[in-house]
Structure 1
């Protein structure tokens, strides 16, 4: 099952050249960029691990690509995404987010149904990956 989160998630994986163009656009808009990774891509897991520090006031696409390649070397079997934040209104709003690295096998999610008060049905889902302990999921 292919995880679909963020911009471009229904398209084939971006090449490095396409990633550079997206980063160049974000830099041209003066957006802050950060790189995050996780082994638990649950849609409600908003707190991915941050790679290094957020890249504020970056004017060079190659410095972002260097950080990205460093993250890929360290976490090649995990999900990695790039986020861009716009602070023109005084708050950091995420305006661009896309996955740039995936594990070779994506196990998908399990739908869990349970009964509630008055025979109402509640549905939730969890990642099959979380059946294994953190650090050994992929």
Structure 2
């Protein structure tokens, strides 16, 4: 006889990255988060993936990480260029911390269809 839970079925809702459980961020809030990534000295990286593969381990790089980039506008323009090239994909930004060799921040900026 299979195990019958009396508690109920509490499935975890799939969310997209760090801020996935919050309401969508405004453009200014997104810019503030990107500015924080840059201020920490982390390397911004733009990635994208089709929504059907969004829970996959690996997303595709838009370009190589922007090592040493200090200009917010450069990072934002690359995010928008990736979104224009792949309008049906999720586009996220990753702040890569070279010291700890890990992601310091990661969130979806544009959600695909």
Tell me the TM-score range normalised by the shorter chain. Answer: 0.7 to 0.9
Determine helix, strand or coil for the equivalent of 1:55: coil
Q: Does the CA contact (< 8 Å) of 1:6 and 1:98 recur in 2?
A: yes
- 2:54 is matched with 41
Q: How do residues 95-110 of structure 1 correspond to structure 2 at under 5 angstroms?
A: 95-104=104-113
Q: Structure 1: which 4+ aligned runs deviate by more than 2 Å?
A: none
For structure 1, the residue ranges without an aligned partner over 5 or more in a row are: 105-138
- Shift of the 73–3 alpha-carbon distance from structure 1 to 2, 3 Å rule, reads farther
What RMSD in Å do the two structures reach over aligned CA positions? Answer: 1.4
Where relative contact order (Cα < 8 A, 6+ residues apart) is larger, the structure is 2
Q: Does the CA contact (< 8 Å) of 2:35 and 2:72 recur in 1?
A: yes
TM superposition score normalised by structure 2 = 0.81
In structure 2, C-alpha distance between the alignment counterparts of 1:69 and 1:103, rounded to whole Å: 13
Instruction: Tell me the matched-pair count.
Output: 99
- Shift of the 25–33 alpha-carbon distance from structure 1 to 2, 3 Å rule, reads same
In structure 2, C-alpha distance between the alignment counterparts of 1:26 and 1:103, rounded to whole Å: 23
Determine helix, strand or coil for the equivalent of 1:98: strand
User: Which one has a larger percent strand, Structure 1 or Structure 2?
Assistant: 1
- 1:21 is matched with 32
